[in-house]
Amino acid sequence: MLTGQQLIGNSESADSSETFHAINPANSETLTTAYHEGTEAEVDRALTLAEKAANEMRGYSAEKLARLCEKIAERLEANKEALLECCGAETGYPDPRLNGEFGRTVGQMRQFAAIAREGRWLDARIDHAEPDRAPLPKPDVRCAKVPIGPVVVFGASNFPLALSCAGGDTASALAAGCPVVVKGHPSHPGTCEIAARAVLEAVKECEFPEGTFSLIQGTTNEIGGAMVKHPATKAVGFTGSLRGGRALFDLAAARPNPIPVYAEMGSFNPQYIMPEKLAADPVAFAEALFGSVTLGNGQFCTNPGLVFVPEGADADAFLAKYRELVEAAEPAPLLNKGIQSGYAKGLENLEAHGIEVLRGKASAEGCKTAPALAVMTLTDFEKYRETVEEEIFGPSTVVITCPSCDVYAPIARDFPGQLASSVHAVGDDLDECQGLVDALSTYAGRICFNGFPTGIEICHAMHHGGIYPAATDSHFTSIGLSAISRWGRPVSYQDTPDHLLPDALKEGNPLGIVRLVDGKTA
């Protein structure tokens, strides 16, 4: 069933004879399909087709775009078994995780279909003319978003379904009317191919133009770079490492005509624990933290990587329980050798600075790796802050014991951009938190109370981003229903005849969408 070829519009292509294989991280088994490395010529074909498709799709109704997203959800469901089997072999993720992520993936497709139909994201605004205004007449001015054009999507290794080939970036871009060319993540090329075929079936069934969607596979930085540099590319969505995201951002900024790169990158998501919360049940808190740190074997960008606690007996009880959980945990596979060695190096780097690291049981099988815990004093944190602020991607966390919670806000003010950050506080402690919340709002994209940031609700109010290095553009989110905003840009129409306006701006409001008319919601 898998051919390992590039899926470019209606064609398959294997210009290069160089191939690569996926590896099962649970047992190091090399999977059978050989995937061809994409070439620059293939990138050019995919993006040239996408550019043509963009011109056709610009005129499509929201209804037609919504139906495509819904059809993709259907086709993914029809291929669920094959998709999850392949994905499990490529990622080592257990079935419940795969099922959960699959549900989120098809759910997102349908949510973005609804968002397209609802039309609020178009941000339609109408200011009527006042021909008699003195000293100058006021023109009729209307504004709505138009699709930005071909979007290149780089999926994440850790969400092979929900943030990959048919994931949130693809769903939101298609719902906005933008063609998509995906750069498949080389850790799960088969998952990408199956998902891409499902998307392409839907593209055909819904009679969208060839080039609405393409998939390019490859392991090199060059092939991704060629996609970012292609003249037809109008925007880039990326979820992954700081190094990878920054490299793409730099390429896009250096173009003769720079384009936006919406990169969601690394984060260590500081957690601040207030005394009453810790005192209430230090053991339960240890269990909850451990659950969050080891969710998806720690491979979440919202993983709580730094935990500040007030020192004392409650912290001791919490740490004792956490150590017990680390020691008892069974090793689980990380997604690939690169992540595994990065995790090991990150922990060794802490130890090189004299920071105590407790590791769980070792395993020689595949990429299996155990959780870890580092504990340090505030003094050591201040000494080694730069080292500790390097994200360690995996099931570890660093606990910093502090003589007083008064240090939290000043520490927070110096943090670089973070996707999320939590305050854990109950009772009277809540009255002490305003300064801390203010400090968090200077760096975080999301502030949580009494919960860990892992597990992201796909809703209107979700913001998954933040200032650099959490993301390259703090205005936009890569997860949640506002993610669609990235793929449209506003265009004003002045004194334009009604029949030449986009439907969103026609006087009679044929789409029935919410608009701002003369400054009032209508």
Span 148-187, contacts to a second copy by CB under 8 A: 148-149
Q: Which of 90, 193, 264, 391 is catalytic?
A: 264
Those residues whose C-beta lies under 8 Å from the C-beta of residue 232, and which sit 6 or more positions away, are 47, 48, 50, 51, 149, 150
Exactly one of 2, 489, 506, 509 binds a second copy (CB under 8 A); which one? 489
The total of other beta-carbon atoms located within 10 Å of residue 97's CB is 17
Candidates 189-197, 225-233, 357-365, 473-481; binding stretch for a second copy (CB under 8 A): 473-481
Q: Is 477 near a second copy (CB under 8 A)?
A: yes
For a second copy, the binding residues in 16-35 under the rule CB under 8 A are none
Instruction: Quote the tokens at residue 476.
Output: 């936009």
Contact flag: residue 445 with a second copy (CB under 8 A): yes
Report in angstroms how near the CB of residue 516 gets to a second copy at its nearest: 6
In terms of CB distance, is 213 or 249 closer to a second copy?
A: 249
Among 492, 507, 510, 512, binds a second copy (CB under 8 A): 492
Residue 96 is classified by DSSP as H
Q: Can residue 146 be called a binding residue for a second copy (CB under 8 A)? A: yes
264 tagged catalytic: yes
3-state helix, strand, coil in the chain (%, to 5): 40, 20, 40
If binding is defined by CB under 8 A, does position 190 make contact with a second copy? no
Interface size with a second copy, residues (CB under 8 A): 80
143 touches a second copy (CB under 8 A): yes
Q: What is the contact mask toward a second copy in residues 52 to 71, using x (rule: CB under 8 A)?
A: ---x--xx------------
Query: d(Cα 222, Cα 370) in Å, to the nearest integer?
Result: 34
139 forms part of the interface with a second copy (CB under 8 A): yes
Does residue number 455 form part of the binding site for a second copy (CB under 8 A)? yes
CB contact set of 468 (below 8 Å; sequence gap of 6+): 416, 417, 474
Which residue in 450, 507, 510, 512 binds a second copy (CB under 8 A)? 450
Rounded CA separation 441/447 (Å): 7
* Shorter beta-carbon distance to a second copy: residue 126 or 223: 126
Q: Tell me which stretch binds a second copy (CB under 8 A): 267-275, 335-343, 358-366, 472-480.
A: 472-480
CB of 95 to a second copy, least distance (A): 14
Q: Which of 228, 226, 223, 253 is nearest to 238 (CA)?
A: 228
Nearest distance from residue 382's CB to a second copy, in Å?
19
Q: Of the two residues 351 and 518, which places its CB atom closer to a second copy in the complex?
A: 518
| Nearer CB in complex with a second copy: 310/480 | 480
Candidate list 491, 507, 510, 512; residue touching a second copy; CB under 8 A:
491
Per DSSP (E only), the strands in 148-199 are 151-154, 180-183
Tell me how far apart the alpha carbons of residues 105 and 166 are, in angstroms, rounded to a whole number: 7
**Among the candidate windows 161-169, 250-258, 276-284, 347-355, which touches a second copy by CB under 8 A?**
250-258
CA distances from 521 to 127, 266, 468 (A): 12, 38, 34
- Should residue 494 be labelled a site residue for a second copy when binding is judged by CB under 8 A? yes
* Active-site position among 69, 87, 192, 301: 301
* Nearest residue (CB) to a second copy, 35 versus 208: 208
Helices then strands, counting H and E runs in the chain, come out as 15, 25
Q: Does residue 474 touch a second copy according to CB under 8 A?
A: yes
Candidate segments 51-59, 85-93, 203-211, 394-402, binder of a second copy by CB under 8 A? 51-59
> What three-state secondary structure class fits 227?
helix
Nearer to a second copy (CB atom), residue 55 or residue 379: 55
Q: Count CB atoms within 10 A of the CB of residue 111.
A: 23
Using CB under 8 A, which residues numbered 256 to 295 contact a second copy? 257-260
If one asks whether residue 110 binds a second copy (CB under 8 A), the answer comes out as no
Per-residue contact flags (x/-) with a second copy for residues 215 to 244, judged by CB under 8 A? -------------------x----------
Q: Which of 67, 142, 230, 359 binds a second copy (CB under 8 A)?
A: 142
**521 forms part of the interface with a second copy (CB under 8 A):** yes
Q: State the CB neighbour count (10 A cutoff) for residue 486.
A: 24
Of the candidate residues 168, 465, 504, 511, the single one contacting a second copy (CB under 8 A): 465
Active site (annotated) includes residue 74: no
What is the SS3 assignment for 420-463? EEEEECCHHHHHHCHHHHHHHCCCEEEEEECCCCCCCCCCCCCC
Phi, psi dihedral angles at 255 (to 5 degrees): -60, 155
Alpha helix ranges (H) inside 367-428: 378-388, 408-413
**CA distances (Å), 129 to each of 231, 502, 514, 515, in order?**
38, 18, 20, 17
Q: Which of 416, 503, 506, 509 binds a second copy (CB under 8 A)?
A: 416
Beta carbon nearer to a second copy, 14 or 471: 471
Contact in structure between 395 and 297 (CB atoms under 8 Å): yes
Structure tokens at 16: 């290069």
Reported as type and span, the H/E element at residue 50 is helix 40-57
Residues annotated catalytic, as ranges:
264, 301
